[in-house]
Amino acid sequence: MGTDGFIRLHQEDFCQASGHTSHNKYEHEGSPSFAECLRLYGNTQRNR
C-alpha cells in the first residue's frame, strides 16, 4: 500500500499486451483484432 493509502495495480490494454503501439489504436489502423484479443486473453488465463 502506498503512503497515500492506495494500492497501485499494474494494468495493460490489449495493444500494450500484444506489442502494438498506441499509434495503432484501432483495428483498421493495425491494432489487434477482436479474435487476437480473445486469443491473448485465453493464453493469459491458461498461464495462471
pLDDT tens column, 18-37: 888 877 777 777 788 888 88
> pTM (2 decimals)?
0.52
Residue 46: pLDDT band with limits 50, 70, 90? low
Q: How far apart are CA 45 and CA 48, in angstroms?
A: 6
Residue 44: pLDDT band with limits 50, 70, 90? confident
3-state percent breakdown (helix, strand, coil) of the chain, nearest 5: 50, 0, 50
pLDDT of residue 48: 55
Q: Structural domain boundaries of the chain?
A: 14-46
